């Protein structure tokens, strides 16, 4: 596997998790947080794949290197799949994690526990400067709580109850989240295709 992997994300929470998971294989991760001069990429796709591919391919062309991108979000059944691809901006352009999760709780007010099913989804896109690309996907099932709990993770983690663990995603230790998360599962699939990262 490549020793350094560029990941087209500006999300600190993702960057930390991705760096931790890839470090298990001796891969060093660089993200767009290391290149602040690169402008934001407009995520105007209607699917996780479209957005992930756009982020990865724009940066792959820029660097002339293979680049990975992560497009992810929360899918709530009782909200018809919302916030979905709009997860980052659910409560407005500010990309405010707290405002976003409060909006989900408000929209679900009065919805009983058995109807609060949800999942986190992660699509990873690996793009090459030649235009070649591949997708890897992962999901993590859960239930939306009635109030936030826990300080770990990021984004919607404090309102995402993980039944198999009996706590919210934000109450898990980082190593525990990184074993079961949508992101971890997508990376597992990528690691089964290690040859793509050679170089
Ligand atoms: O596009 P980049 O730069 O990677 O960063 P972003 O924050 O805009 O990322 P997305 O477009 O993929 O939006 C993802 C949204 O889903 C949320 N999200 C993704 N993974 C999550 C996780 O593991 N736990 C909690 N929330 C998550 C996250 O907080 C964002 O609101
Ligand atoms: Mg984004």
CA of 74, nearest ligand number? 1
Question: Is 128 near ligand 1, meaning CB less than 6 Å away?
Answer: no
Q: Which residues form the domain of 114? A: 4-197
Is residue 71 flagged as an active site residue?
yes
pLDDT at 179 over 90: yes
pLDDT at 1 over 80: no
Q: Report CA 167 to chain centroid distance, whole Å.
A: 20
The per-residue b/e assignment along 89-127, b for 16 or more CB within 10 angstroms, e otherwise, is ebbeeeeebeebbebbeeebeeeeeeebebbbbbbbbbb
71 is in an annotated binding site: yes
39-49 per-position pLDDT tens digit: 999 999 999 99
Task: Determine contact, residues 162/173, Cβ cutoff 8 Å.
Answer: no
Tell me the percentage of the chain whose pLDDT exceeds 90: 94
Give the CATH number of the domain where residue 94 resides.
3.90.950.10
Backbone φ, ψ for residue 5 (5° rounding): -125, 130
Please compute the mean of the pLDDT values over residues 50-66 and round it to a whole number.
Answer: 97
SS3 string of 119-181?
Answer: EEEEEEEEECCCCCEEEEEEEEEEEECCCCCCCCCCCCHHHEEECCCCEEHHHCCHHHHHHHC
90 is in an annotated binding site: no
Categorize the per-residue pLDDT at 197 as very low, low, confident or very high, splitting at 50, 70 and 90. confident
pLDDT at 2 over 70: no
d(CA 171, CA 160): 10
114-169 per-position pLDDT tens digit: 999 999 999 999 999 999 999 999 999 999 999 999 999 999 999 999 999 999 99
d(CA 148, CA 32): 29
Atom 30 of ligand 1 has which residue's CA nearest to it? 88
Q: How far is the CA of 12 from the centre of ligand 1 (A)?
A: 10
Helices (H), 64-137: 97-107
Question: Is 142 near ligand 1, meaning CB less than 6 Å away?
Answer: no
Q: How far is the CA of 95 from the centre of ligand 2 (A)?
A: 9
Q: How far is the CA of 139 from the centre of ligand 1 (A)?
A: 14
> What is the complex's ipTM, to 2 decimals?
0.99
Categorize the per-residue pLDDT at 198 as very low, low, confident or very high, splitting at 50, 70 and 90. confident
In total, how many domains does the chain have?
1
């Amino acid at each position: 596997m490549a020793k350094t992997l560029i990941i087209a994300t500006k999300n600190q929470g993702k960057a930390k998790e991705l760096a931790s998971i890839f470090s298990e294989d001796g891969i060093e991760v660089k993200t767009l947080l290391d290149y602040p001069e690169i402008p934001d990429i407009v995520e105007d796709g209607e699917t996780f794949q479209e957005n992930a591919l756009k982020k990865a391919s724009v940066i792959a062309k820029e660097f002339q290197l293979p680049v990975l991108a992560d497009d992810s979000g929360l899918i709530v059944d009782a909200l018809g799949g919302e916030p979905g691809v709009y997860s980052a901006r659910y409560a407005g352009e500010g990309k405010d994690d707290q405002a976003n999760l409060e909006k989900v709780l408000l929209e679900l007010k009065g919805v009983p526990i058995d109807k609060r099913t949800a999942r986190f989804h992660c699509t990873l896109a690996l793009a090459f400067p030649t235009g070649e690309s591949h997708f890897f996907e992962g999901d993590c099932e859960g239930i939306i709580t009635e109030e936030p709990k826990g300080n770990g993770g990021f984004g919607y983690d404090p309102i995402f109850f993980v039944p198999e663990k009996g706590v919210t995603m934000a109450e898990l230790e980082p190593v525990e989240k990184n074993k079961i998360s949508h992101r971890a599962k997508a990376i597992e699939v990528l690691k089964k295709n290690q040859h793509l990262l050679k170089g």
